[in-house]
Amino acid sequence: MITLSGIIGSGKSSLTAILANELGTKAFFEPVEDNPVLPLFYKGNEIAANKRAAGDKEATNPYAYLLQTYFLNRRFKMIKEAMQDDNNILDRSIYEDELFMKMNTDMGNATQVEYQIYKSLLKNMMEELPYAAKKKSPDLMITIKVSYETMIKRITKRGRKFELIQNDPSLAEYYKQLLGYYDDWMNQYNVSPLLVIDGDKYDFVGNDNDRVAVLETIEERLLELNKLTPEMVAKMNKRHTGSL
């Protein structure tokens, strides 16, 4: 099982689809379009920021805890399903979930009480995961690291209104802080092998050569981990060369 991670707009869903097609397996995508809480959360960030600017230092986002428990529940369900069979790929996983709640708490969008309740719930879920699925952890975690400029460019291209800094200028600071939290998360992650892809350097969606380079990097890492055979990698590389 492979899991993807990375900040908003890094290309997780695109690379998940590319990998699933390459390996002939199933992709599991985090639901966003049908998420009833996400637009409320972004609106709540704006409300909380305005209240703090007006002097209410204890103002929180009323939807931060709700959003994170919503995501936690969906990600737990998704990873259980993905772990039932071999070779599945997830575009987001439960393993990076806490960084969002921690950041929202540090920013004042959630309370310490909410954070502690969330962490207790997450701990209980992680303890149950080995019993609910075949695997205890992913075979490989792939994280796509991008700069603020690349992230904003891709968010703008995607065009979800509640993600655009043009509609909510306070998101600029939120996104910049989130990049820092992801750096900390990458340095501390130890649940499984981790492979970092440079999302600024490689346009694996729009450039065929970049896509091949990223796929071959991933396949070589899976070979090192004994998750692919040399014959499988050679066959895939031959197909890459022939497609250019």
Which residue matches tokens 């892809």? 197
Mark whether 106 is an active-site residue: no
d(CA 141, CA 79): 13
For residue 3, list its beta bridge partners.
90, 141
Give 178's contacts (C-beta < 8 A, 6+ positions apart). 7, 8, 100, 103
Q: Which amino acid is at 59?
A: A
Binding residues for substrate: 30, 42, 68, 92, 97, 163
Residue located via tokens 């996104």: 175
All residues at 6 or more sequence positions from 176 whose CB lies less than 8 Å from its CB, including other chains: 148
Q: Are 68 and 100 in contact (CB under 8 A)?
A: yes
- Known binding residues for ATP are 6-14, 154-158
The one catalytic residue among 56, 85, 86, 91:
91
Binding-site residues sit at 6-14, 30, 42, 68, 92, 97, 154-158, 163
- The residues carrying an active-site annotation are 91
